[in-house]
Amino acid sequence: MSLGGMALFAILLTMVSLGRAKSSSACEAVGNCTMDVSHIWGQYSPVFSVPSTIDVSVPSGCNVTFAQILSRHGARAPTRKKSDLYRNMIQRIQSSVKDYGKGYEFLKDYDYHLGADDLTPFGEQQMVDSGVVFFQRYQDLASEFDPFVRASGSDRVVVSAQRFVEGYYGAQDRSTSSPVKSILVLPEAEGFNNTLNHGSCPAFEEGPASEIVDAYQKVWLGVFGPAINKRLNSKLPGANLTLTETIYMMDLCPFNTVANVSLAASDFCRLFSMDEWASYDYFQALDKWYGYGKGNPLGPSQGVGFGNELISRLTGTPVDDDTTTNSTLDSSPETFPLNSKLYADFSHDNTMSSIFAALGLFNSTMDLPLKYKVSPRHLHGFSASWAVPFGARMYLEKMQCSDASEELVRVVLNDRVVPLRTCNSDRFGRCKLSGFIDSLKFVRSGGLWNECPYNG
Ligand SMILES: *[C@@H]1O[C@H](CO)[C@@H](O)[C@H](O)[C@H]1NC(C)=O
Ligand SMILES: *[C@@H]1O[C@H](CO)[C@@H](O)[C@H](O)[C@H]1NC(C)=O
Ligand SMILES: *[C@@H]1O[C@H](CO)[C@@H](O)[C@H](O)[C@H]1NC(C)=O
Ligand SMILES: *[C@@H]1O[C@H](CO)[C@@H](O)[C@H](O)[C@H]1NC(C)=O
Ligand SMILES: *[C@@H]1O[C@H](CO)[C@@H](O)[C@H](O)[C@H]1NC(C)=O
Ligand SMILES: *[C@@H]1O[C@H](CO)[C@@H](O)[C@H](O)[C@H]1NC(C)=O
Ligand SMILES: *[C@@H]1O[C@H](CO)[C@@H](O)[C@H](O)[C@H]1NC(C)=O
């Protein structure tokens, strides 16, 4: 057995023994779990500092000469579709359950009012904070350059960019009367080439590639879901919750928590064990990996346009791309300047997952197994909660160092240095600019966009 195999075997053994040790006095049996699980809520985790084995500060003897942030919007309400499903489920529970089990009494009077699609006040604050942190990290550049800011067209993404800009200029002590004006919005309309939102590759949106993720998640849900489902249905007799609704009940923990600026854990969080949250976290990791990342045959292709824009910005040369870039926008210095040193782009978890895949950030991560879970520590740092939580931010920085003639490139994702293995990074996780650009062959060679046509 390989070392990796042995590590996995050990993880599995631990899981089996934990399973056996579980007794009826466990917190989930009485609905009074109180552990902090907010870091294992998949993409619904509020962003946090992910553990980094490499020091995240700029190495001594180096100056940052360029920084690009690619950010997810802050914490939001459920999407419209999900919000309707959650409301219906709660209504069904409340109309069919007479006898609520221990720990579930709160559901009787729970008032569903999460809204839909938009940032929560906490989510707006996350973005203000993010702007402050970005300014502080790159303030030497900030004294000479204003960030060039773009946002994908959803309200929550545009507002995220606005709050970020407010935080940034607030920290710099330069109020902008109208930050809105300085943000370039890329519409999420059909037919508009938008590098910050997928949607223009029919084979990915509607073809067989779009069905993979559901099939894969179903396998894992079939492993960890039934025990939880059985408990919920015995605590809520008459509710007859499905396996999918078991996930919805868990979703209501993060969504109710981020709906309140106090971030006090919602009652829903008390119903599930630490191990169940780890399973949920892995369920969400499968979604990003097989839905939008390297595990999907057309996932990485959705990030190629942004990859080519990044190459252009890093090298100061025109964009060369035939995938999702808009040549009208990218050929104008007004809408795609090449003389800035600070860039800020705002997007979604799904497209960011594709962009990371296009850049090869998790190329050394194995394909996620479907029948048991693996922690992000064993996946080279990949999980939805580590990569694309609410308010997620990737920094791509270029630095000039006294001991190197060529500029170096490094990626910091949610405070974790992601070593650029695809170009043989050094001990600080960095590659030479030319080595990094060389490694982006997939991005520079069309990224399989020729496979996008699809007709039913
Ligand atoms: C949860 O409930 C059990 C059984 O009622 C009790 O023994 C335990 O102390 C409680 N735990 C917490 C954290 O309240
Ligand atoms: C490209 O951008 C221009 C300027 O915003 C817009 O008029 C045009 O519709 C866009 N075309 C595509 C295909 O995105
Ligand atoms: C529970 O739901 C299943 C399918 O969703 C259905 O077949 C079954 O009849 C329902 N049971 C009750 C008691 O409503
Ligand atoms: C937010 O949480 C605080 C502290 O737990 C609570 O007192 C308050 O009622 C909550 N607000 C809303 C709108 O739920
Ligand atoms: C939009 O993208 C398509 C490729 O998907 C490309 O053929 C077209 O020229 C692009 N339009 C613009 C305005 O860049
Ligand atoms: C990542 O792996 C794929 C093959 O799975 C390869 O096509 C691509 O070039 C790699 N990316 C980088 C940056 O090395
Ligand atoms: C970094 O910037 C400082 C101040 O501008 C300068 O003195 C120093 O030479 C620079 N170092 C490198 C490696 O470029």
Q: Using a 6 Å cutoff on CB, does residue 402 contact ligand 7?
A: yes
Indicate whether 343 and 422 sit together in one domain. yes
- What is the pLDDT, as a whole number, of residue 176? 55
Q: What is the DSSP letter of 405?
A: S
Question: Residue 185: pLDDT above 70?
Answer: yes
Confidence of residue 25 (pLDDT cuts 50, 70, 90): low
Q: Degrees (nearest 5) of the Cα angle 317, 320, 321? A: 150
Nearest to 195 by CA among 18, 319, 340: 319
Q: Degrees (nearest 5) of the Cα angle 195, 393, 355? A: 35
Contact between residue 408 and residue 432 where contact means Cβ atoms under 8 Å apart = yes
Q: Whose CA is nearest to atom 10 of ligand 5?
A: 326
Confidence of residue 308 (pLDDT cuts 50, 70, 90): very high
371-387 pLDDT tens trace: 999 999 999 999 999 99
Indicate whether 302 and 191 sit together in one domain. yes
Give a yes or no: residue 316 inside a domain: yes
Residue length, the chain? 456
Residue 63: in which H helix or E strand, if any?
Answer: strand 62-72
More confident of the two residues 391 and 2: 391
- What is the pLDDT, as a whole number, of residue 456? 79
Q: Using a 6 Å cutoff on CB, does residue 14 contact ligand 7?
A: no
In the numeric block, which tokens belong to residue 328?
């009208």
d(CA 278, CA 391): 21
Q: Whose CA is nearest to atom 11 of ligand 5?
A: 326
Number of the ligand closest to the Cα of 229: 3
More confident of the two residues 25 and 203: 203
Residues with CB under 6 A from ligand 2: 191-193, 326, 328-329
Ligand 1 probe mutation, 23, 24, 27, 105, most atoms within 8 A of CB: 27
Give a yes or no: residue 38 inside a domain: no
Which of 291, 323, 350 lies at the terminal end of a domain, its last residue?
291
Ligand 1 probe mutation, 23, 24, 28, 30, most atoms within 8 A of CB: 30
Q: Quick one: which atom of ligand 1 is closest to the CA of 34?
A: 13
Q: Quick one: which atom of ligand 4 is closest to the CA of 260?
A: 1
Indicate whether 111 and 241 sit together in one domain. yes
* Catalytic center residues: 73, 349
Q: Quick one: which atom of ligand 1 is closest to the CA of 33?
A: 13
In Å, the largest CA–CA distance within the chain is 73
- Write out the residue range of the structural domain in which residue 230 sits: 3-19+78-118+207-291
Q: Whose CA is nearest to atom 9 of ligand 3?
A: 240
Indicate whether 195 and 323 sit together in one domain. yes
Indicate whether 105 and 140 sit together in one domain. no
The b/e string for 11-43 (b: 16+ C-beta within 10 A; e otherwise) is beeeeeeeeeeeeeeebbbbbebeeebbbbbbb
Q: What share of the chain is helix, strand, coil (3-state, %, to 5)?
A: 50, 10, 40
Number of the ligand closest to the Cα of 63: 7
Give a yes or no: residue 353 inside a domain: yes
CA-CA distances (angstroms) from residue 184 to 73, 168, 345? 15, 17, 9
231-253 pLDDT tens trace: 999 999 999 999 999 999 999 99
Q: For 318-440, where are the alpha helices, taking DSSP H only?
A: 327-330, 349-358, 384-387, 433-439
Ligand 5 probe mutation, 322, 335, 451, most atoms within 8 A of CB: 322
Query: In CATH, what number is assigned to the domain containing residue 258?
Result: 3.40.50.1240
- 222 C-beta neighbours (distance < 10 Å), count: 12
Residue 205: in which H helix or E strand, if any?
Answer: helix 202-205
Helix (H, G, I), strand (E, B) or coil at 49: coil
- What is the pLDDT, as a whole number, of residue 19? 45
Give a yes or no: residue 46 inside a domain: no
Q: Using a 6 Å cutoff on CB, does residue 406 contact ligand 7?
A: no
Q: Is 1 exposed, middle or buried (0-12, 13-18, 19+ CB in 10 A)?
A: exposed
Indicate whether 163 and 269 sit together in one domain. no
For residues 363-368, give the mean pLDDT.
98
Give a yes or no: residue 232 inside a domain: yes
- Strand duo 393-401 + 342-347: pairing: unpaired
Which amino acid is present at 55? D
- What is the pLDDT, as a whole number, of residue 18? 47
Q: Using a 6 Å cutoff on CB, does residue 401 contact ligand 7?
A: yes
Question: Residue 13: pLDDT above 50?
Answer: no
- The sign one gets for the Cα dihedral 171, 172, 174, 180 is negative
Which of 291, 322, 339 lies at the terminal end of a domain, its last residue?
291
Which amino acid is present at 366? M
Q: Whose CA is nearest to atom 7 of ligand 7?
A: 63
Indicate whether 84 and 70 sit together in one domain. no
Indicate whether 147 and 87 sit together in one domain. no
d(CA 419, CA 422): 9
Query: Left (φ > 0), alpha (ψ -120 to 50) or beta: where does 186 sit?
Result: beta
d(CA 337, CA 5): 48
Give a yes or no: residue 379 inside a domain: yes
Question: Residue 258: pLDDT above 70?
Answer: yes
- Strand duo 431-432 + 416-417: pairing: unpaired
Give a yes or no: residue 37 inside a domain: no
Helix (H, G, I), strand (E, B) or coil at 153: coil
Indicate whether 285 and 305 sit together in one domain. no
- What is the pLDDT, as a whole number, of residue 174? 72
Question: Residue 17: pLDDT above 60?
Answer: no
61-90 pLDDT tens trace: 999 999 999 999 999 999 999 999 999 999
Indicate whether 113 and 141 sit together in one domain. no
- What is the pLDDT, as a whole number, of residue 24? 53
For residues 38-49, give the mean pLDDT.
98
Q: Quick one: which atom of ligand 6 is closest to the CA of 423?
A: 14
**Lowest model confidence (mean pLDDT) among 12-16, 106-110, 120-124, 301-305:** 12-16
Helix (H, G, I), strand (E, B) or coil at 89: helix
The count of domains in the chain is: 2
In the numeric block, which tokens belong to residue 378?
């064993």
Q: Give distance in angstroms: CA of 183 to centre of ligand 2.
A: 16
The mean predicted confidence, pLDDT, of the chain is: 94
Question: Residue 4: pLDDT above 80?
Answer: no
Nearest to 360 by CA among 278, 272, 423: 423
Ligand 1 probe mutation, 24, 32, 37, 271, most atoms within 8 A of CB: 32
Give a yes or no: residue 266 inside a domain: yes
Number of the ligand closest to the Cα of 335: 2
- What is the pLDDT, as a whole number, of residue 181? 53
Indicate whether 319 and 287 sit together in one domain. no
Number of the ligand closest to the Cα of 293: 6
Number of the ligand closest to the Cα of 204: 5
Q: Whose CA is nearest to atom 7 of ligand 2?
A: 328
- What is the pLDDT, as a whole number, of residue 11? 52
101-140 pLDDT tens trace: 999 999 999 999 999 999 999 999 999 999 999 999 999 9
Q: Give distance in angstroms: CA of 425 to centre of ligand 6.
A: 15
Q: Give distance in angstroms: CA of 324 to centre of ligand 5.
A: 7
397-455 pLDDT tens trace: 999 999 999 999 999 999 999 999 999 999 999 999 999 999 999 999 999 999 999 98
d(CA 167, CA 176): 11
Which of 258, 291, 324 lies at the terminal end of a domain, its last residue?
291
Residues with CB under 6 A from ligand 5: 193, 200, 322-323, 326-328
Indicate whether 409 and 379 sit together in one domain. yes
Nearest to 360 by CA among 393, 382, 389, 392: 382
